[in-house]
Amino acid sequence: MRRPYWHILLLTSLVMVAAGASSDSDTLERNRRRLEKWRADPVVYGRLLEDVRGFYALPAARQRSIRDLDAKLHSGDLARQSRLWGVLERYGTWLDGLSEEDRRRVLDAPTAEDRLTLIRFLCARDWAERAAPAIKLELGKLPPEQRQKRIAELRAEERKQRRLWDRSLPELAEVSERRS
């Protein structure tokens, strides 16, 4: 089973602590306590050790880029950190759910821009596969360029409807509370 990518970032934090990369004593102490907790669970600790070995087996440039990403994830206010970790976890879950061929295509994309273009294409394709039959029929009649544009329009409409629904939920809850 593949490991989530955020897991490697967590390990990077531990590696940085072990290497003395952090001078903040509160952070060091918090990470020591966290490591002791993980040591108490042999399965978790074994997995951490395996992942640390995997991290050290990476080329130096890749290790550096992971450390840079980890630093960015831990900078800024807590709301931003929380949002970024959520994005990373969703991305890892999405990536793990891809076929081996699609995952390879994403991971082997030559540039970040190419990777993002491919990710957008795969998300649109997945959305179209889950769409209602009438929408699938409509999309099937369109040439590829128009199909991608129409999918983008439909997804935007769907997001707009979801936002409206999310805003109305508190009002619905309030009405429901008044009735009870």
Write down the pLDDT at residue 28.
86
Q: Name residue, tokens 């306590």.
A: 33
Q: Where are the domains of the chain?
A: 1-97
Model pLDDT, residue 166: 82
Instruction: State how far the Cα of 10 lies from the Cα of 85, in Å rounded to an integer.
Output: 11
- As a whole number of angstroms, the distance between CA 62 and CA 55 comes to 9
Q: Residue 76, by phi and psi: left (phi above 0), alpha (psi -120 to 50) or beta?
A: left
User: What is the per-residue DSSP string for 88-137?
Assistant: HHHHHHHHHHS-HHHHHHHHT-SSHHHHHHHHHHHHHHHHHHHS-HHHHH
Q: Is 3 strand, coil or helix? A: coil
CA 14 to CA 12: how far, in whole Å?
5
Tokens 């009438």 locate to 134
Q: In the prediction, which pLDDT does 172 show?
A: 64
- In tens digits, the chain (180 residues) has pLDDT values of 455 555 665 555 655 545 544 457 888 888 889 888 988 999 988 998 999 999 999 999 999 999 998 888 888 888 998 998 899 899 999 999 999 999 999 999 999 999 999 999 999 899 999 999 999 999 999 998 899 899 999 999 999 998 888 887 776 667 667 776
Is the pTM value of this prediction over 0.85? no
